[in-house]
């Protein structure tokens, strides 16, 4: 990378069986303050293009810059990993953070004795709710002990978002305003550094857990 490193093998992830689709897409009703939104859902065909970087085992913070189209709150960070719940639990503690675009830390949280899992690949770390404003850019990050993360190659060659039925936009690398693109990362054995590096538009499948204001 960064974080994918030259010569390391990419393990392609096969198609996800429809029977494992445990998370329904956010409906228009839920998008108006009655439920959490994510950049990616279990039914998102985009996830089928992900690969796992099995050769990179360094501790790393993976992140995304995003902006909500309406005001609301963020109370966690979610990531897609091709690791079993047992494998992830063996790596605890894990951590998550939220930053303003200028690098100001807004919130952080940790998973110490267990971590929330949702099929087919999602792990969530919660934090105290933080107010976010419409149109402003934020960075949500997930710190992973032992690497072996998954990502979509060239995913941020274009904008990502759930705005068909939700209110989150992740800009393309060309339109990113934090660091040198979207799909951010920072190698760190401890702590939560503000991530500013990116690599070839890679999307590390990180999402804020966002609840829009009721309206």
**Would you place residue 186 in the very low, low, confident or very high pLDDT band (cuts 50, 70, 90)?**
very high
Structure token digits, residue 32: 């108006």
The answer, yes or no, to whether residue 149 has pLDDT greater than 90, is yes
- pLDDT value of position 24: 35
Instruction: Find the mean pLDDT for residues 202-213.
Output: 98
**Would you place residue 18 in the very low, low, confident or very high pLDDT band (cuts 50, 70, 90)?**
very low
Instruction: Find the mean pLDDT for residues 95-123.
Output: 97
- pLDDT value of position 5: 52
Mean pLDDT across the chain: 88
Neighbours of 95 (CB within 10 A): 22
Instruction: Find the mean pLDDT for residues 75-84.
Output: 98
Q: Please answer whether residues 172 and 67 qualify as being in contact, where contact means their C-beta atoms are separated by less than 8 angstroms.
A: no
The answer, yes or no, to whether residue 88 has pLDDT greater than 70, is yes
The answer, yes or no, to whether residue 157 has pLDDT greater than 80, is yes
The answer, yes or no, to whether residue 11 has pLDDT greater than 50, is no
Contacts of 177 by beta carbon, 8 Å cutoff, 6+ apart:
65, 101, 137, 171
């Amino acid at each position: 990378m960064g974080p994918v490193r030259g010569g390391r093998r990419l393990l392609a992830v096969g198609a996800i069986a429809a029977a494992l689709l445990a998370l329904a897409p956010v409906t228009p009703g839920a998008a108006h303050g009655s439920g959490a939104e994510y950049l990616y859902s279990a039914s998102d065909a985009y996830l089928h293009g992900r690969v796992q970087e099995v050769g990179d085992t360094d501790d790393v913070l993976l992140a995304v810059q995003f902006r909500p189209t309406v005001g609301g709150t963020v109370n966690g960070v979610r990531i897609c990993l091709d690791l079993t719940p047992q494998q992830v639990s063996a790596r605890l503690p894990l951590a998550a953070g939220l930053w303003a675009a200028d690098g100001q830390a807004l919130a952080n949280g940790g998973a110490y004795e267990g971590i929330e899992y949702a099929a087919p690949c999602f792990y969530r770390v919660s934090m105290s709710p933080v107010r976010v404003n419409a149109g402003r850019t934020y960075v949500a990050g997930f710190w992973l002990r032992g690497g072996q993360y998954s990502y979509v190659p060239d995913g941020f060659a274009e904008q990502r978002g759930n705005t068909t039925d939700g209110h989150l936009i992740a800009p393309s690398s060309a339109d990113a305003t934090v660091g040198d693109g979207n799909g951010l990362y920072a190698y760190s054995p401890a702590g939560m550094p503000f991530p500013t590096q990116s690599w070839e538009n890679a999307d590390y499948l990180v999402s804020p857990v966002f609840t829009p204001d009721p309206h």
